[in-house]
Structure 1
């Protein structure tokens, strides 16, 4: 009986060790197989935040190849995510939440664009009270720019529907053209389009920094996480080291951009991303590009999503995110 029991235990141990070794061997084999990663970013500041990687394509592991694409439409970006045409995306943070709530299979890994909206005009605006009775042109009716500005107005005792008039335009280019032509004296403008406007209409200046105003309203010592990087759960689960390497290179890329705006501008122009190097170089300081891991950005993200949820729950997918939304390495 004892011999039989001993034999059975030996067989079980051998089986466990064999399965363990097989599992380890299969994992190692999988990690050594050629891996193609697709990275997609929206045009503008999100693409700028990764422009060094677009240009230099740094290695993030043996047998790993990475391709980069910049798209102009948020709808196209969403379509690519839902059809899983990419592994890593930079997206508006609320879109990341929206897609997560639709079980898209992506987690947020870092927030990297911390607000790009400024009020530009040729009038003296020193406080919120000065906005009463004014007309302000902007973009994004019912979307995040609208939610952010209306939130800040109400936080400062300004009724956005009674105390001033908001005029909405279809996009930043149309908004800029209207302002440059002199048809508007106050516009809520995003970078890098803002810098282009300031160069062409020399009588104008930045009269309000929405990022500074948000920091005061939120009392978090940080601005709002306008855009974030998301990674597919499949890539996280099967190639965790590759993900870590990518994030490390992205953080280095962002640090380099802030330290070398002229070179970043050259890269942007050379890759034909839609703006010349001078405009890009001048805009970087106001683009607020900063790498903050999801773990460190969590409080700011939750606060931002809560504001958007209160404005229109559909902006974040009908409900607030849970802990699994965040990738922590």
Structure 2
């Protein structure tokens, strides 16, 4: 091989090496892949709900998590008998997401220096005026009557007062409200007097009707509340909301987004397949399946998020605040109370 050929081969080898080096450098300097394209890390999500309507919309999701269908995160669910069980767990960080009464969410927000975010409305109104003799057909028909009710100093009292006053009736003057300590006492009063009228929530209404077919729903307080709304800031009668600890929502937005997608699907399942949902409600010991099957259509189970959620909930809390500031924790929440994905 002559010297000229060797020189040409050497030059070619050096050129290839240079090209390889440039290619490697170009790859090293290429933009990093966006983090959103990388698989999100699985998170442990401790969630809870209360026995009753606020937990019913969750049962499809709970079942999917239990059977491994919902496996994008480690979802751990619990059901509590009363808000008092959940409040300290939320405040102490033992729970990340919870389904709680709407006004309790505001109380927790105020008591944790803004440490709570509302993700969605999950249950609208579940309160009903019931009678046995068909004497009540409108709110006006309540004039001069006595209503047996439970829940003084809480949502039932505030909702009933709002609707009575909105229809020109003054509680305690035009309508007598006899407060009982338990819903069962209201049903007992109806059993003793065919003309008695009671304010009852679902699923207690359905449970009572299964035992006494003469009990009928005379007025749906959710519909009566809606009939009083006008203008831009329309409120809704709201029973429950889905909340998250602010710290958890900030640290795990992907987990929150995944949770809410599962929740939307679960609510759709519960409303579309009442029989299957009722069986799960019974299996999770929320309420017996026969009661759930009758109650679910009347429980107003929803998943309302975003601006619609904020408008309805903020206006609802204003109604409660006007009646008793303590009902919402002493002050109306700031805008950061309403979660924006």
TM over 0.5, yes or no?
yes
**SS state of the match for residue 340, structure 2?**
coil
Q: Which whole-Å CA distance do the structure 2 matches of 1:255 and 1:59 have between them?
A: 16
Instruction: Tell me what 2:272 maps to.
Output: 259
* Gapped regions of structure 1 (runs ≥ 5): 1-20
Q: Which whole-Å CA distance do the structure 1 matches of 2:294 and 2:168 have between them?
A: 34
Cα-Cα RMSD? 2.6
Instruction: Tell me what 1:4 maps to.
Output: none
Mapped contact 1:55–1:271 kept (Cα < 8 A): no
Give runs of aligned pairs for residues 103-182 of structure 1, distance below 5 A.
103=113, 105-123=115-133, 124-180=135-191, 182=193
Mapped contact 2:122–2:304 kept (Cα < 8 A): yes
**How much has 1:298 moved relative to structure 2?**
1.1
Q: In the superposition, relative to structure 1, how do residues 87 and 59 fare at CA in structure 2: closer, same or farther (>3 Å)? A: farther
Instruction: Tell me what 1:8 maps to.
Output: none
| 2:76 is the counterpart of 1:67 | yes
Instruction: Tell me what 2:19 maps to.
Output: none
Q: Which whole-Å CA distance do the structure 2 matches of 1:59 and 1:322 have between them?
A: 37
Mapped contact 1:41–1:70 kept (Cα < 8 A): yes
**How much has 1:128 moved relative to structure 2?**
2.3
Could you list the structure 1 runs, at least 4 aligned residues long, displaced by more than 3 angstroms after superposition.
Answer: 58-62, 173-184, 220-223
Mapped contact 2:235–2:316 kept (Cα < 8 A): no
Q: Which whole-Å CA distance do the structure 2 matches of 1:200 and 1:306 have between them?
A: 38
Instruction: Tell me what 1:317 maps to.
Output: 329
* Gapped regions of structure 2 (runs ≥ 5): 1-31
Instruction: Tell me what 2:45 maps to.
Output: 37
**How much has 1:294 moved relative to structure 2?**
3.8
**How much has 1:295 moved relative to structure 2?**
2.7
**How much has 1:297 moved relative to structure 2?**
1.3
**SS state of the match for residue 228, structure 2?**
helix
**How much has 1:76 moved relative to structure 2?**
1.5
Give runs of aligned pairs for residues 11-90 of structure 1, distance below 5 A.
32=41, 35-57=43-65, 62=72, 64-90=73-99
Instruction: Tell me what 2:100 maps to.
Output: 91
Mapped contact 1:81–1:104 kept (Cα < 8 A): no
Q: In the superposition, relative to structure 1, how do residues 38 and 177 fare at CA in structure 2: closer, same or farther (>3 Å)? A: farther
**SS state of the match for residue 218, structure 1?**
coil
Instruction: Tell me what 2:229 maps to.
Output: 218
Q: Which whole-Å CA distance do the structure 1 matches of 2:306 and 2:108 have between them?
A: 16
Q: In the superposition, relative to structure 1, how do residues 155 and 264 fare at CA in structure 2: closer, same or farther (>3 Å)? A: same
Q: Which whole-Å CA distance do the structure 2 matches of 1:215 and 1:242 have between them?
A: 34
| 2:302 is the counterpart of 1:290 | yes
Number of equivalences: 306
TM-score (norm 1): 0.86
TM-score (norm 2): 0.83
Bigger Rg over Cα: 2
